[in-house]
Amino acid sequence: MLLTISDVLDAKMLSEARSLIDTLQWQDGAETAGSVARRVKRNLQADLSSRTGVKLRKQILDTISGHPVIRAAGQPRKFSKPILSKTAEGGAYGLHVDNAYIGTGEARVRTDLSYTLFLSDPKSYDGGELVIERTGVTLCEKPEAGSLVLYPSSSILRHLSTASLK
């Protein structure tokens, strides 16, 4: 299954999210990657432990978990905490498969479905496509800001490099 859902976040929600994102601290994404992913992960990941990060994470999770199309298509029992990443010039996230399990202890969740929520206007940056490799087909997704792409966590993915930010 591959499903692109438009307007998961409306213009007001996107504006609020971007305002919160502007205040976040960022770290090397490889620090949160497993040993295999660390070799191909060249992006930044937001520290969502701050008050602002917790607020943003909750807003995104509440919106996604309550979205009727996502609920109908994915039939989720539980959601893992969102991870917020960005790719600066020259960065990318090479071929990888999302983790089958996320979290530890009681928060550990099996992730059969993954998603990428696009927060930036696609005209505002070069590159950045979500690439899904399927048998004999390569799918590239770079939808409008506020759109979400839902796909099996077992998909072979790449997040293309950002050649330059406008």
Domain ranges, ordered by start, for the chain: 3-159
Contact between 94 and 158 (Cβ < 8 Å): yes
Structure pTM?
Answer: 0.90
CA-CA-CA-CA torsion sign (99, 130, 2, 63): positive
* The pair of three-digit structure tokens given for residue 32, joined into one six-digit string: 């949160």
CATH class of 3-159: mainly beta
* The pair of three-digit structure tokens given for residue 103, joined into one six-digit string: 């979290």
- The 8 Å CB, 24+ separation contacts for 67-71 are 67/5, 67/8, 67/148, 69/3, 69/5, 70/5, 70/8, 70/115, 70/148, 70/150
What is the model's pLDDT at position 162?
58
Query: pLDDT of 56-105, one tens digit each?
Result: 999 999 999 999 999 999 999 888 889 999 988 888 899 999 888 888 88
